[in-house]
A and B are shown apart, each in its own frame.
Chain A
Amino acid sequence: MASSTKSNSKTAKSSKNGKKSGTAGLDESVVTSKVDHLELFRQMFLIRQFEIACGENYSKGLIRGFLHLYIGQEATGVGAISTLREDDYVVSHYRDHGHALARGLDVNRSMAELFGRATGTSKGKGGSMHLFDAAKGFMGGHAIVAGQLPLAAGLALAQQYNKTDALTICFFGDGSTNQGIYHETMNLAAVWKLPVLFFLENNMYGMGSSIERVRAGGIDFYPGMATYGIPAAEVDGMDVLAVKEATEIAVERIRDGEGPQFIEAKTFRFSGHSLADGQKYRGQDEVKEWEERDPVATFPAQLIKRGLVTSDQIDEIKTEVNEAVAKAVEFAEQSPDPDLPEIYNDVLA
């Protein structure tokens, strides 16, 4: 896929869309800007190592339920969330670990939640698909496909009602787009000009169903936003800087009161839908092709090649992250299960 950003006609006409977000890569404008490249890498690497540790502990039976890994999609969540302020909200889907970590959720408590322990973010009552940290504006992993979209619209409605310039970013996958609530929410958000950024992580598969098998009209969703008058852009989801720049443009427009925006990032999960997935529905060639563009490998390599960082700096981050993840697993393992009376807490306020 080309790394350039395509936009629908409405976006293209907008004066603010003069610069093409997807061309960011490591071009001069980005190199000279104040992007914290090392921090972006640290977050992507943290997510990668966290997910690998999750997979291992799932195999050991220490994490149960459904486990959906974010491996391969790190650049989308990290690039997008890096543009936000503290008073913005983040809403995610069931593949939510990456967004949670990019939003700065405590690594130990996140891992503990996956282990179902009392020290977890939801005291062990949410699990992998339901990570929350309201204090950080992280309003959940949500596990009914597309069910989180109106929640995000409502959070944005409150931001608008309170006359702030804060916004809500809502992540969802390509599988969401065939739910009726997806279309309902797009319309509602557009009619009310809500400060919400719809961020589609198009990883080409809804569980085992490739887009082509379940959607009429091809693999691109962003042109459909013209129906709702929502400016939409496509971005290379394997390029963290491109994602960051595309999101910055959308975020600025929302803060300026222009209403909802839509970004479609083309991305790919390198592993199965969940740990229970044998991936009989797709060939390994396709997976390998995408893996060659692995942002966790290509991004630091480019940074070093350009002389923006040294390999020592990258190695240092790797060591730090590996220690942090090992510690998180240890923390989770040593944390107690919730007491049984916890069953009855938090049902009603």
Chain B
Amino acid sequence: MPEILLREALKRGLEEALESDPRVFMMGEDIGEYGGAYAVTDGFLKKFGPERIKDTPISEQAFLGAGIGAAAAGLRPIVEFMSISFTLVAFDQIVNMAANLRYMSGGQISVPMVIRAPTGAGVQLGATHSQSFETWLAEVPGMKVVCPSNPYDALGLMRSAIKDNNPVLVAEPALLYGAKGEVPDEYYEIEIGKADVTREGSDITLVSYGYGMRPVNDAADKLASRGVSAEVLDLRSLSPVDMDAIVASVQKTNRVVVVDNARRRGGVMAEIAADLQERASEWLDGPVMRVGSIDVPWPYNRGLEREVLVDADNVLTAVADGYGL
């Protein structure tokens, strides 16, 4: 199977949609002439023209809001944010408008819009550019949230997101744009709301998503070298989240560590941990262990930032603390 970068997988998904559906168009800061801050839309302006590849002013509220209006009128906008931290500027539009519009109108209006945003720390951008607000938006009813951890998932999830009739946030791990992976030429989609068991095991379940899959996979390798068989789940979607898959795995392994690349407090994994207490405590041999990045603003210094980020050792420590493995 051919190997491509995650950036190229996203690009393929976007390009296909622009080619096959005239209702699809893109908006964002410097996605046209400049080619996109992470080069995902490089060459699009030339290929699809300025009506479909729209450079916007630095007005996140206005262009995200315009995406909502265009979607409400039947188009299928794909709106790019340069950083998921910038979605904060447009949170009113995303939450109050995009996510609530269908419900408030009694089902009369839908918002088939994709919001793309690079997420996560690790490239020394400091506190305002390193956050992971997919965890906040995963709480909001009326929208969906996905986050790929590899090129195969990036393409499959992007295809599904563009076809979806709801607002869908595609959180793109900034550290993974250059990650390589196998992507088949044959068409496929990945269903939103389904987790992927990326590694079968019998002794402990490790759950994460996006960039968090790196420390989790490293930890699973290290556990394997010690004879501990870890089952690994990649959530792929944070909303809806596939609790059934997590519970099923826990019923098999009786042990679980949930790992959030975002800050530990108040994230998606906190919610999953709470759900597991209710749904799977009788299957568990110990506490639901939760790992996340340290609850501080993101520091700039490389050493400090690395320390705040979750790594495989953090995961292994939780495995040992919770279950003595």
Contacts and interface: CB of A to CB of B under 8 A. Distances in A.
A188 B93 CA distance: 15
Question: Quick one: which of B25, B74, B103 has the most chain A CB within 10 A?
Answer: B103
Contacts of A184: 57, 59, 61-62
A46 to B, nearest CB: 23
A149 B107 CA distance: 21
Interface in A153-173: 153-159, 161, 168
B181 interface: no
Question: Quick one: which of A132, A133, A158 has the most chain B CB within 10 A?
Answer: A158
A152 B69 contact: yes
B66 A154 contact: yes
A349 B57 CA distance: 30
Contact of A139 (B57, B96, B103, B109): B109
A132 B104 contact: yes
Interface string B55-75: 011010111111111111111
A93 interface: no
Contacts of B51: 161
A149 B65 contact: yes
A158 B69 contact: yes
B225 interface: no
A151 B61 contact: no
A125 B70 CA distance: 23
B56 A188 contact: yes
B104 A347 contact: no
A97 to B, nearest CB: 16
A187 interface: yes
Given A125-B104, A153-B69, A154-B73, A132 B61 contact: no
A158 B102 contact: no
Contacts of A122: 104-106, 108
B62 A132 contact: no
Contacts of A181: 61-62, 65, 92-93
B97 interface: yes
A72 interface: no
Interface in B160-179: 164-166
Interface string A100-127: 0000000000000000000011111110
Contacts of A2: none
B156 interface: no
A120 B63 CA distance: 32
Interface residues of A, number: 44
Interface string A125-142: 110001011110001101
B120 interface: no
Interface string B239-263: 0000000000000000000000000
A150 B92 CA distance: 12
B62 A188 contact: yes
Contacts of B62: 149-150, 153, 181, 184-185, 187-188
Contact of A156 (B57, B69, B164): B69
A161 B219 CA distance: 50
B166 A348 contact: yes
A68 B313 CA distance: 58
A147 B110 contact: no
A1 B40 CA distance: 56
B142 interface: yes
Contacts of B72: 139, 151, 154-155, 158
A26 B71 CA distance: 42
A188 B63 CA distance: 8
B93 A125 contact: no
Given A125-B103, A161-B75, A132 B65 contact: no
Question: Quick one: which of A134, A139, A188, A348 has the most chain B CB within 10 A?
Answer: A348
B141 interface: yes
Interface string B96-134: 110001111111111010000000000000000000000
Contacts of A185: 59, 62, 65-66
A153 B66 contact: yes
B104 A130 contact: yes
Nearest to A159: B73
Given A188-B56, A348-B142, A125 B106 contact: yes
A122 B109 CA distance: 10
Contacts of B93: 147, 150, 181
Contact of B70 (A126, A134, A158, A349): A158
B110 A347 contact: no
A100 B137 CA distance: 32
A35 interface: no
Contact of B97 (A132, A147, A168, A192): A147
A121 B106 contact: yes
A349 B110 CA distance: 7
Contact of B73 (A89, A123, A126, A147): A89
Given A139-B72, A152-B69, A158-B75, A134 B142 contact: no
The 8 closest A-B pairs by CB, nearest first: A154-B69, A150-B65, A158-B73, A122-B106, A184-B62, A349-B165, A346-B107, A154-B66
9 contacts: A121-B106, A144-B97, A154-B70, A154-B77, A157-B66, A188-B56, A188-B63, A345-B107, A346-B107
Given A122-B105, A150-B62, A150-B65, 4 more contacts: A151-B65, A161-B25, A347-B103, A347-B142
Interface of A: 89, 120-126, 130, 132-135, 139-140, 142, 144, 147, 149-159, 161, 168, 180-181, 184-185, 187-188, 191-192, 345-349
